[in-house]
Amino acid sequence: MAVRIRLKKLGRRHLPFYRIVATDAQQGIKGREIEVLGTYAPSHKDPEKVLSFDRERVEYWLSVGALPSDTVRNLLKREGVK
C-alpha cells in the first residue's frame, strides 16, 4: 500500500479549508484517510493559525516512505520539515 500525504478540501465556496491527511494513493481525493495530520486554512486572518500540523506524526509518515503531494511538500518545507 503506497501512502500519500495530501490535502483534503473542506470548507465552503470562497472560504477554503484543508485537512492534511495520510491516505492510500489509490483512494480518490474524497476517499477515506488513514490519519488526519493537521489543517491548512489559507484565508485565515491570523497568520499563526494558517497552518498547523502534528510534526512528529508527519515525520513518522515520511520516515516510513509516505510521499507528500507537491503542495504539502512546499508547506512542510516552509515550516522546516525535511
> What pLDDT digit, counting tens, does each position of 25-81 carry?
888 777 788 999 999 999 888 888 899 999 999 999 999 999 999 999 999 999 998
Q: Which residues of 8-45 are buried (b: 16+ CB within 10 A; e: fewer)?
A: beeeeeeeebbbbbbbeeeeeeeeebbeebbbbbeeee
Cα separation, 3 vs 18, whole angstroms = 18
The parent domain of residue 11 ranges over: 3-78
Strand partners, 64: none
Q: Please report, for the domain that includes residue 44, its CATH number.
A: 3.30.1320.10
Q: How many domains does the chain have?
A: 1
Indicate the pTM of the whole model.
0.88
Q: What does the CA dihedral 6, 8, 11, 16 come to, rounded to 10 degrees? A: 30
